[in-house]
Amino acid sequence: MPQFDLLVIGSGPGGYIAAIRGAQLGLNTALVEKDPALGGTCLHRGCIPAKTWLETAHRFEQMQVADDYGIDGVDGTSLKANLATIVKRKGRIVTKNAKGIEFLMKKNKVTVLKGFGKLLGGGRVDVAGEVHEAKRIILATGSAPKPIPGLETDGVRVLNSDHILDITELPAHLVILGAGAIGVEFASVFSRLGSKVTLVEFMDTILPLEDAAIGEELAKIFKKAYKIDVRTKTKITRIERRADGVACFLEGEAPGEVVGSHLLVAVGRSPLIEGVGLEATKAQVDRGCVVIDTFMQTAEPGLYAIGDIVRTPWLAHVASDEGILAAEHAAQNLGKDVHPHPIRYDRFPACTYCDPEVGTIGLSEKAAKEKGYDVQVGSFPFAPMAKANIVGEPHGFIKIVADRKYGEILGIHILGPKATELVASSVALLGGEFTVDELINTMYPHPTLNEVFPEAARAVYGRALNM
């Protein structure tokens, strides 16, 4: 019976990173994957392919106003999105990255086992009928689009986030249920490529998990710039599938019947733990998620769980850090000189790649008040910033949530050009090490988008310079 020090089930950004880290620490490591290629949901059906669509939509939009930049010969009215080519380009990028992961496995001497991995208990795992033993196991099986009773997807007219990545016909009218990150990203894509879009969200604002100001401003931009029909506080109660489309019946603040050519159901994801053999272990499951401690350990000795199957933020970079933590803790228990540190979940950056982009970290204004802070906030728009106007995206804002007494920065919320890049530098500003006054006194180069940071900090005290 083959035996390993560490066996990782699932090759997404949590699993394959965990395997690499385990191998680096000298563990005899195996990685199990049921799909033909490595990379998991993020690479094949999530983050990466979705961003290829977003990049195409962004460039498509820019080319429609090429004459404004002094570029003649591009007739914006004659531009047409070729979805088949978009899908092919997406496939090339995914394949290239998958091969890169395969190379990393070979480089780090990680054994790749192809097949469905099932826990048998006692450190044993069945992979395609062969049983393997491992001193430590990391479960990283990820998630899948959440099914909604009555709104079953068929991949033809009623789509989930997997289906829409391979669509080769531009929807005449795309109705999207759910205005979280997935919903607003695809609303941003298809509205720019030429589809009519209706966005339906049950909560009070779109992007309801973000600071309320983000969702409110993004809805305004969606309506004005992209003519998206945004309906919040509204739900789809039932649908009728027709030969040429889908009739959606809405209730709530914006009721009525909306007939779309396609419906995208984007209301979240569900952990993939069915059939993985947890019942053969002492691991506990709570509301569909595996229960873990601060080192990603389950109640089963030697078994760890990471990523979308645990109740932590379901983000690729969070899963990667969890994979590193689990691998290091496993290695420490097996006698390696390594000192893992629990993850600070109060400091994770979150990104939404719609247009304009959203990047946030830390507490929203509402959450900070609920925690008892005496809150003061400062917001500053991108409109006056030279670089934002140069790149043609003078919309959105940055908002800083701070503690009035000590000036501690509690949260940073960005809606605007390159927000997903700008938020990366915000990570170091949280946690009490940096105050509003220190941010005011930090020098940023001109002209850059980063200049909004000290301006927003000054706005906390009501003394922004460029307003």
Helix axes 47-63, 181-193, angle to 10 degrees: 30
pLDDT at residue 116 greater than cutoff 80: yes
Predicted local distance difference test score (pLDDT) of residue 428: 83
| In a shared domain, residues 9 and 76 | yes
**DSSP output for 338-352:** -------GGG--EEE
Query: What is the percent of the chain where pLDDT is above 90?
Result: 93
- SS3 per residue for 21-89: HHHHCCCCEEEEECCCCCCHHHHHHCHHHHHHHHHHHHHHHHHCCHHHHCCCCCCHHHCCCCHHHHHHH
Over residues 407-438, the pLDDT tens digits come to 999 999 999 999 999 998 888 888 767 899 99
| In a shared domain, residues 255 and 282 | no
Contact 157, 261 (CB under 8 A): yes
Confidence class for position 268, pLDDT limits 50, 70, 90 = confident
Q: Is position 151 within any domain?
A: no
The structure tokens listed for 383 are: 């409109």
Helix (H, G, I), strand (E, B) or coil at 257: strand
Number of domains in the chain: 3
Predicted local distance difference test score (pLDDT) of residue 21: 98
Q: State the average pLDDT over residues 80-86.
A: 96
Helix (H, G, I), strand (E, B) or coil at 332: helix
Would you call 446 a catalytic residue per the annotation?
yes
Contact 219, 187 (CB under 8 A): no
Q: Is position 33 within any domain?
A: yes
In the block, which residue shows the tokens 């389950």? 298
Q: Where are the alpha helices (DSSP H) in 108-177?
A: none
Contact 189, 227 (CB under 8 A): no
Q: Is position 153 within any domain?
A: no
**Identified catalytic residue from 132, 262, 341, 446:** 446
Q: What's 202's domain CATH number? A: 3.50.50.60
Domain containing 436 equals: 356-460
Predicted local distance difference test score (pLDDT) of residue 467: 55
- Stated pTM of the model: 0.94
Q: What is the mean pLDDT of the chain?
A: 95
Query: What is the percent of the chain where pLDDT is above 70?
Result: 99
| In a shared domain, residues 202 and 220 | yes
